[in-house]
Chain A
């Protein structure tokens, strides 16, 4: 095995397993809200992801901190694939009738990366119990570029009830 390929197959398999579980939960939650407004679907997806992180801190720790800290180049590739996946979900939720279609996709990548850091920091400090509370802030953070500050806070409050006020 090349030295660059230090992330063993067992670790990579565990990553894929955890990623698949998270993806299934988020996609199922979003499917249940398929007929609702896209900001609501995004909010439900974010809340579900944070609930997953709180319920499965080991798996989420593996998806975030451990993969990057131990994985070298392969770990970065796996991590970026996860970021790209969630960014693609946000991109697919863009309003086709607005000027959002012409925007740079770096915004979605940035928002997902920011939320991943929020989650990773909590897990690194064994503060996963705080995750459901900051889900509300994450919803507001993610939605603001698309629906504005007030609407983002309103939606976040409807789903979690603790947005900044």
Chain B
């Protein structure tokens, strides 16, 4: 079952790192056929499915970021991070070079901006899913399931989030660090709430790295839609170091059986 995205609206407020594009894109004449007020197709359908009559206009920021996300995901797949140039991005995203440089100083800056957006979106879904659960194992189970659903439903964002960027320089490695830092505390809570035995200090990094590897391989292979089916196995795998193998197996089995 896919997550219900109906309640998710594109932000109309530019994030702190992204100045407003109002006017900038309106003046753009290279691609006159572009409907700048349209929601992305899937979001529009979700909006209607939720019973709302008039989809709100999307901000130019949202549209720019949506196009850049697609452009970056495509370019990383084809060329890798290092070989991607601003020209590749503007060609693929169909924005003008001047629009690009009005908003970003470099390809790195553009990447950090959309990576931060994608991470915030993923974090929101995981947090919402986990917050509804009463116990740590349940929070992990629901949070993981939500993350896999997001990755399956938004493969381009997933590719940006889990792509290996360490070789592309310290600034890009920083994006990866943000991803790990975002979810490490939630896992590490298992150390204190379940009377876990002494555990390796790198455990959470390794567990998240495992998840990143699985998501990355499936998305790169074009089978990202199979990720939700891996939730039971991955849940058991992640819980095992904290709860013990047998208890993790039982817990994952019970929670999987309860899942809709």
Asked if A and B bind, the verdict is yes
Query: Which A residues have a C-beta under 8 Å from some C-beta of B?
Result: 3-4, 6-7, 61, 64-73, 75-76, 79-80, 83, 103-104, 106-107, 109-118, 120-121, 123-125, 134, 136-138, 140-141, 144-146, 148-150, 153, 163-165
A-B contact pairs, 8 of them (CB 8 A): A72-B83, A73-B77, A107-B237, A110-B210, A110-B213, A134-B200, A141-B203, A164-B200
Given A6-B79, A72-B79, A72-B80: A61 in contact with B202 (beta carbons within 8 A): no
Which residues of chain A are within 8 angstroms of B216 by Cβ–Cβ distance?
A: 76, 113
Asked if B164 CB lies within 8 Å of chain A CBs, one says: yes
Chain B residue nearest to A75 (CB atoms) is B80
Measured in the bound complex, the distance between the Cα atoms of B237 and A163 in whole Å is 20
Which residues of chain A are within 8 angstroms of B213 by Cβ–Cβ distance?
A: 83, 109-110, 112-114, 116-117
Q: Is the CB–CB distance between A121 and B82 below 8 Å?
A: no
Asked if B137 CB lies within 8 Å of chain A CBs, one says: no
Q: How far is the CB of A65 from chain B (nearest CB, A)?
A: 3
Asked if B1 CB lies within 8 Å of chain A CBs, one says: no
Which residues of chain B are within 8 angstroms of A153 by Cβ–Cβ distance?
A: 197-198
Chain B residue nearest to A110 (CB atoms) is B210
Measured in the bound complex, the distance between the Cα atoms of B202 and A148 in whole Å is 17
Asked if B158 CB lies within 8 Å of chain A CBs, one says: no
Asked if B166 CB lies within 8 Å of chain A CBs, one says: yes
Q: Is the CB–CB distance between B209 and A114 below 8 Å?
A: yes
One digit per residue, 1 when the CB lies within 8 angstroms of any chain A CB and 0 when it does not, for chain B 233-247 equals 110010011001100
Q: How far is the CB of B147 from chain A (nearest CB, A)?
A: 14
Q: Is the CB–CB distance between A69 and B206 below 8 Å?
A: no
Which residues of chain B are within 8 angstroms of A64 by Cβ–Cβ distance?
A: 164, 166-167
Measured in the bound complex, the distance between the Cα atoms of B168 and A70 in whole Å is 8
Given A71-B80, A137-B201, A163-B200: A115 in contact with B166 (beta carbons within 8 A): no
Q: How far is the CB of A9 from chain B (nearest CB, A)?
A: 16
Determine which of A69, A116, A136, A137 lies in contact with B165 in the assembled complex, contact meaning CB atoms within 8 Å: A69
Q: Is the CB–CB distance between A72 and B78 below 8 Å?
A: yes
Which residues of chain A are within 8 angstroms of B196 by Cβ–Cβ distance?
A: 149
Which residue, B170, B196, B208, B240, has most C-beta atoms of chain A within 10 A? B240
Q: How far is the CB of B95 from chain A (nearest CB, A)?
A: 21
Q: Is the CB–CB distance between A70 and B167 below 8 Å?
A: yes
Q: Is the CB–CB distance between B206 and A138 below 8 Å?
A: yes
Determine which of A7, A113, A144, A163 lies in contact with B214 in the assembled complex, contact meaning CB atoms within 8 Å: A113
Measured in the bound complex, the distance between the Cα atoms of B203 and A164 in whole Å is 10
Chain B residue nearest to A2 (CB atoms) is B78
